[in-house]
Amino acid sequence: MATAFWQVVAAYAFAVAGGWISTSLQLAHKQLCALISFAAGTLLGVTIFAILPESFGACSWWAVFLALASGYALFFFISKHVHHVCPACAASHFDADATRHFSEIATALIVALAIHSTTDGLVLGIQGETPAMDVTKWSLFSALCIHKVPEGLALGSLLIGAGLHRSAALGWVAAVEATTLFGGVIGYFFLTNISIFWLGLIMAHVGGGFFYLATHAVLGEMLKHGKKIVLTSFAAGIALIAALNIGLRLLG
């Protein structure tokens, strides 16, 4: 329980730290672009090297692919019909015009990001009972903490650009990202004792959402910024998670 608790709290803290940075410091978009691409690489890396092996070991291949598709479709639907599910992954879409009309999109953004953050907390809150699941959880924890920083940065920057005072902007970042804690509670108290089969499907569903976030972030940044920094940072994120998984499995 202690591990799950501190992982969820740490992920939330990283998001709030990102919000604090963006509301206190001036960060160039080139730096944010590199961080977003790196974080996107870690999300794709944890899907490939941790989530999929765990899911394929617990479920049939067709069930895993259906769960992946459902996770991708959920975030696609929210982003298309509600709002971009992750401000960091869609940072290039938040131009000056978007910040001027923030009041019109605020509710949709909060709902979309709350769903995304709840999913983050939920997958960290689920407790594993096997060494392989422990490796997966630590990979997820690393990737989500890295991802939460640019997420908080992008949300804080958008709020500041919309005219909110720095303290108010940081307060909103903390409030919206608190759904990560809510997801952690759901995962720990309601999903810990489910069967390995359903656990594998939940992980695959989350992986589908990660795949959407990763591809959407990279394609969005490449369309507006140089491909070199995006692809280099993205590849570095994938390599970090791959190395982390190999190292943890060797130690285990």
CA 136 to chain centre: 15
DSSP assignment of the chain, as one string?
-HHHHHHHHHHHHHHHHHHHHHHHS---HHHHHHHHHHHHHHHHHHIIIIIHHHHHHHS-HHHHHHHHHHHHHHHHHHHHHT--S-TTTTGGG--HHHHHTHHHHHHHHHHHHHHHHHHHHHHHHSPP-SHHHHHHHHHHHHHHHHHHHHHHHHHHHHHHHTT--HHHHHHHHHHHHTHHHHHHHHHHHHSTTS-HHHHHHHHHHHHHHHHHHHHHHHHHHHHHS-HHHHHHHHHHHHHHHHHHHHHHHHH-
Q: How many domains are contained in the chain?
A: 1
Residue 24, domain member (yes or no):
no
Residues 12-40: tens digit of each pLDDT = 999 999 999 988 876 666 777 888 889 99
The pLDDT assigned to 77 comes to 95
Q: What is the pLDDT of residue 246?
A: 87
Residue 187, domain member (yes or no): yes
Structural domain includes residue 159: yes
On whether residue 123 sits in a domain, the answer given is yes
Residue 72, domain member (yes or no): yes
Tens digits of residue pLDDT in 152-163: 988 888 788 777
The answer as to whether 56 is a domain residue is: yes
Q: What is the average pLDDT score of the chain?
A: 85
Give pLDDT, residue 149.
Answer: 93
Residue 4 has what pLDDT?
83
Domain of residue 230 covers 2-19+29-251
| Per-block mean pLDDT, blocks of 10 residues, the chain (252 long) | 86 95 77 86 94 92 96 93 76 53 68 91 77 77 93 85 85 94 92 85 94 87 76 94 87 68
Q: Is residue 86 part of a domain?
A: yes
